[in-house]
Structure 1
Amino acid sequence: MAVSSESDAHLGQPEDPNHSDPTTAHDDLDDFESEIEEDDDESEEDDEEPEPITPEAQMRTERVNMESLFKRLSTERVPVRVHDILIKGNTKTKDSVIEAEVEALLKNATTVQQLLQAAGVANARLQHLDIFDSVNITLDAGPPELPGTANVVVEVSEAKNPLTGDVGIFSKPEVTIVGLKL
């Protein structure tokens, strides 16, 4: 006859849940004490300072994080909204001229992918004006209190002066050359 763990082996009747066997109570107390000791050992291990991360391990971690970010950006539609367009480097050109070329493109983007494409088109538009030596568009995180936003920084380097020339005045006895810069 098989005896289940729920029955008393001597009587063949179900065990009384209120009845406690002194040997089992002693075993339970030993188990409880050993669990407390294990918890104490674990808490002592937790108190130790973590080992410093080596530069190589940190570089590997950053590489994995960047690869994960690039994979997410290329496969998922990450929503974003342009918070502000900042224009830097223009001294002669008014902000309104630059904003007219880029603002509508950048503000209409709703995902990071669209924003990257719009930034490329905006860069090409500003280059085609032929008033800048270089144009650099940077996408930066928006303010921390507005998650899911980006600031677009348009940095331009204006051309020196596209209108330069020389004017010469000649007379018979002597030659005089006068330079004129606009």
Structure 2
Amino acid sequence: MADPKTIKKAFDRNQKALEKRPSIGKRTALTKVRVRDGTTCEITASGKKMICDVGTEMGGNDAGPGPGIFERGALGSCLAIGYATWAAYTEIPVDDIEVEIESDYDARGQFNIGEEPPGFSEIRYKITIESSAPADQIKALIEKADSHSPVLDDFRRPIPIKREINIKSKENTS
């Protein structure tokens, strides 16, 4: 398990490397998703696999968490890791970190009913940190971590999205 000293050492090492050679921080990440059984998706990235699915009430197999759960989980885990990392880096003692993510949505948008957007209408997060440090230090830690959270930034900032379509038709074209 990564203890605060290990986290701080890794942070320092990465920070110094990026200051010396900024180009090493620029990469492209790839995640592949393949439908395996109706709605069950196998997600593969960096040699790791996850399963995503929707519940039977949506016609799925309920074989794993749905996309919205992964979305909230990505945000919550990125925030929690950020708090742990910045606490270690700044040597602020932390005993426990919990992040709750809540999202509001209206399913009508997903089913082409009315003018509702298909995604979330609001996301809220609640942070609980146990620490012997003064509250103002914890609040400053949270502000610092939030301002450097990649996934929180992805949610807050519009990101250009490009689409490419490849169709492998089995239709006889003769």
TM-score, L = length of structure 2: 0.25
Greater C-alpha radius of gyration: 1
TM-score, L = length of structure 1: 0.24
